């Protein structure tokens, strides 16, 4: 029996679901892009508002979900990410007239899936959230563009993601066979006895399957092959959504499973994760060097970024005391990454909203600095943040990685971070350099995009700087709630 408190805790999810139904009915009665966009944003804002006043200590609602501070914070971040995406997508879709209203329906469903994911404490809710998110994304990737590239991307994502989900499912089945539980917290106790009593080989196999499945969703090497193609093929706003909301939610649930289930106790898992992390940093950064498509560059860059982030999980294995810091570091890093990537892909969306073509080639931004100083400055800040230059949020994230790496004495990983960052500078700065180049022929001034889109980008830029210049409030907040 569900108590009113528990029901109240579920309010954001309920509101999102209500919004989905309202939007579906609205589309059935009258199609309007603006209408769909506003219903979506209203739903998101109501859901956001319904999170105010929840107990930060957390409450377990059914065995499936735990509505705690970590979950609520990332639900809020996901919802804000969806607001940004929907605002930017409206201009983008206007350039591509078709039956575009269902785009927002899928967006709301994906948001709901991501929110379920970050609150999941049970295998069932994890899979539910993951599939809700994934299935909505298949549609979104192929949605507005009828081109070959986006169809290819969607099919690629569908097939590979399906395979990854199957792997994940098999891993959880094995784990269930070994421990008899699907709840993360109970898993920890069961694993403890297994580690003492018997050979943990079945647990290691299960963990390998599960981690491969999640690694696919996070696109860390060697499960990264799909990323550049899907990023490139997807419409620009969805590239941003995929890179931030989808990956962020998956990492949060990985963090929960990994730490609540105390999987860091297993030496083999830590070793495997270390190899994956180092491979991601090197592969991601090396392959980005020769790309000419900005979306592909961002795709490879995200592979590397998640490589850095895995250090946080690995540190838990070598130094158990660093777990609170690990949660804090992961949250800060993810927040910085999400804001920065939304800003970077936001610029691409804005540019692509000015033409019927995706403007994501490096040649499309040549000379942008002199035509659109403010937008370009925002993009420059985002690039510097991804590169980890001080005064940006990305630097504080990197600082956390170094701090936790130094605490846990992970010297090999730290060297890889340094080498990776050095490589990264090259392609981030290459984009900045191209923006500052003098264009050979001056293009006709492109039409202005809507005020919302530009102010959203400006806001994101200011956030990147604010989190980099004055990080103390967020640090205090994170260390207090986690």
Partner 1 sequence: MELANLIVIFLFGGLLAWLAEMMMENSARWVSLLTIALCSAYLWRLVGHIPAELFHINPVANQAGTWLMHHQMNWIPRFGVSFELAMDGLSLLLIVLTLFLGVVAVVSSWAEVDHHRGFFQANLLWTLAGVIGVFLALDLFLFFLFWEVMLVPMYLLIAIWGHEGKAHAAMKFFIFTQVSGLLMLLAIIVLVVLSAETLGRYSFSYFDLLQNDLSGGVATMVMLGFFVAFTVKLPGVPFHTWLPDAHTQAPTAGSVLLAGILLKTGAYGLLRFTVPLFPEAALQFAPIAMGLGAAGVVYGAVLAFGQSDFKRLVAYSSVSHMGFVLLGIFAWNHLAIQGAVMQMVAHGLSTAALFMIAGALQQRLHTRDLGAMGGLWHNMPRMGALALFFIVASLGLPGMGNFVAEFLILVGLFQSMPWMAVVAALGLITGAIYSLRLMQEAFQGKPDAHRTLPDFGPLEMTVMIAMVIGLLWLGLYPQPVLDLAQPVINSLTAEVQL
Closer of 14 and 406 to partner 1 (Cβ):
406
Copy the structure tokens of residue 203: 């647990």
Contact 397, 311 (CB under 8 A): no
Least spacing, CB of residue 380 vs partner 1, in Å = 9
Closer of 49 and 411 to partner 1 (Cβ):
411
Contact 317, 287 (CB under 8 A): no
Copy the structure tokens of residue 429: 């700065």
Is the peptide bond prior to 46 cis by the omega test (within 30 degrees of 0)? no
Distance CA 383, CA 248 (A): 19
Binders in 437-466 for partner 1, by CB under 8 A: 438
The single residue listed with the structure tokens 């998956």 is 250
Least spacing, CB of residue 118 vs partner 1, in Å = 24
Among residues 101, 4, 140, the alpha carbon closest in space to that of 61 is found at: 4
Least spacing, CB of residue 370 vs partner 1, in Å = 7
DSSP structure class, residue 63? T
Distance CA 297, CA 288 (A): 5
Candidates 73-81, 173-181, 189-197, 419-427: pick the segment binding partner 1 (CB under 8 A): 419-427
One of 56, 390, 412, 455 touching partner 1 (CB under 8 A): 390
One of 94, 399, 458, 481 touching partner 1 (CB under 8 A): 399
- At 3, is the secondary structure helix, strand, or coil? coil
Closer of 49 and 370 to partner 1 (Cβ):
370
Least spacing, CB of residue 406 vs partner 1, in Å = 5
Contact 269, 137 (CB under 8 A): no
Binders in 327-386 for partner 1, by CB under 8 A: 370, 384
Task: State residue 67 phi and psi, 5-degree precision.
Answer: -95, 90
Count of helix runs (H) and strand runs (E) in the chain: 21, 2
One of 32, 34, 426, 442 touching partner 1 (CB under 8 A): 426
Does 471 contact partner 1 by CB under 8 A? yes
One of 289, 418, 442, 462 touching partner 1 (CB under 8 A): 418
Candidates 7-15, 65-73, 113-121, 412-420: pick the segment binding partner 1 (CB under 8 A): 412-420
Per-residue interface string for the shown chain with partner 1, residues 230-249, x marking contact by CB under 8 A: --------------------
Least spacing, CB of residue 399 vs partner 1, in Å = 8
One of 21, 271, 433, 443 touching partner 1 (CB under 8 A): 433
Candidates 52-60, 162-170, 425-433, 459-467: pick the segment binding partner 1 (CB under 8 A): 425-433
Distance CA 88, CA 91 (A): 6
Candidates 177-185, 220-228, 279-287, 433-441: pick the segment binding partner 1 (CB under 8 A): 433-441
Copy the structure tokens of residue 374: 């403010």
> For partner 1, how many residues bind (rule: CB under 8 A)?
32
Contact 47, 39 (CB under 8 A): no
CB atoms within 10 A of CB 447: 9
Per-residue interface string for the shown chain with partner 1, residues 72-111, x marking contact by CB under 8 A: ----------------------------------------
Distance CA 163, CA 186 (A): 28
Distance CA 278, CA 400 (A): 17
Write out 17-55 in H/E/C secondary structure.
Answer: HHHHHHHHHHHHHCCCHHHHHHHHHHHHHHHHHCCCCCC
Candidates 8-16, 91-99, 345-353, 413-421: pick the segment binding partner 1 (CB under 8 A): 413-421
The single residue listed with the structure tokens 């696109």 is 219
Closer of 32 and 415 to partner 1 (Cβ):
415
Does 49 contact partner 1 by CB under 8 A? no
Does 391 contact partner 1 by CB under 8 A? yes
Copy the structure tokens of residue 279: 């491979």
CB atoms within 10 A of CB 443: 11
Q: What is the CA radius of gyration of the chain?
A: 21
Does 389 contact partner 1 by CB under 8 A? yes
Candidates 133-141, 210-218, 358-366, 399-407: pick the segment binding partner 1 (CB under 8 A): 399-407
Q: 184-197 and 201-218 helices cross at what angle (nearest 10)?
A: 140
Footprint of partner 1 (CB under 8 A): 370, 384, 387, 389-391, 395, 399, 402-403, 405-407, 414, 417-419, 421-422, 425-426, 429-430, 432-433, 436, 438, 471-472, 475-476, 479
């Amino acid at each position: 029996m569900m108590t009113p408190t528990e029901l109240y805790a579920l309010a954001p999810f309920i509101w999102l679901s209500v919004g989905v139904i309202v939007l579906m009915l609205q589309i059935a009665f009258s199609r309007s892009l603006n209408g769909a966009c506003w219903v979506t944003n209203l739903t998101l804002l109501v859901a956001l508002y319904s999170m105010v006043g929840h107990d930060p200590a957390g409450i377990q609602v059914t065995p499936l979900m735990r509505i705690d501070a970590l979950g609520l914070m990332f639900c809020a971040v996901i919802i804000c990410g969806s607001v940004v995406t929907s605002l930017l997508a409206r201009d983008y879709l206007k350039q591509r007239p078709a039956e575009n209203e269902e785009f927002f329906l899928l967006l709301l469903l994906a948001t709901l899936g991501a929110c379920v994911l970050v609150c999941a404490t049970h295998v069932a809710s994890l899979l539910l959230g993951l599939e809700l998110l994934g299935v909505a994304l298949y549609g979104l990737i192929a949605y507005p563009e009828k081109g070959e590239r986006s169809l290819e991307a969607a099919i690629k994502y569908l097939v590979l993601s399906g395979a990854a989900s199957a792997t994940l499912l098999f891993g959880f089945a094995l784990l269930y066979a070994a421990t008899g539980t699907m709840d993360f917290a109970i898993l920890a106790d069961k694993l403890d006895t297994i580690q003492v009593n018997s050979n943990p080989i079945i647990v290691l196999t299960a963990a390998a399957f599960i981690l491969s499945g999640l690694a696919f969703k996070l696109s860390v090497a060697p499960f990264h092959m799909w990323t550049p193609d899907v990023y490139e093929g997807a419409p620009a706003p969805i590239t941003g959504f995929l890179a931030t909301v989808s990956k962020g939610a998956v990492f949060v649930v990985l963090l929960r499973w990994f730490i609540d289930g105390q999987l860091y106790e297993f030496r083999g898992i830590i070793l495997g994760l270390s190899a994956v992390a180092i491979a991601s940093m090197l592969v991601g950064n090396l392959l980005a060097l020769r790309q000419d498509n900005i979306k592909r560059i961002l795709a490879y860059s995200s592979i590397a970024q998640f490589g850095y982030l895995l250090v946080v999980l690995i540190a838990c294995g070598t130094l158990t005391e660093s777990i609170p810091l690990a949660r804090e570091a992961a949250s800060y890093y993810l927040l910085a990454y999400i804001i920065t990537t939304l800003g970077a892909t936001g610029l691409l969306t804005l540019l692509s909203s000015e033409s019927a073509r995706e403007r994501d080639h490096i040649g499309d931004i040549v000379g942008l600095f002199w035509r659109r100083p403010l937008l370009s400055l925002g993009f420059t800040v985002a690039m510097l943040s991804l590169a980890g230059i001080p005064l940006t949020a990305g630097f504080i994230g990197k600082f956390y990685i170094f701090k936790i790496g130094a605490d846990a004495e992970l010297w090999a990983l730290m060297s890889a971070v340094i080498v990776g960052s050095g490589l990264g500078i090259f392609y981030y700065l290459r984009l900045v350099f191209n923006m500052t180049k003098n264009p050979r022929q001056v293009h006709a001034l492109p039409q202005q995009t809507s005020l919302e889109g530009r102010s959203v980008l400006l806001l994101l830029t200011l956030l990147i700087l604010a989190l980099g210049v004055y990080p103390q409030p967020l640090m205090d907040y994170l260390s207090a709630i986690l």
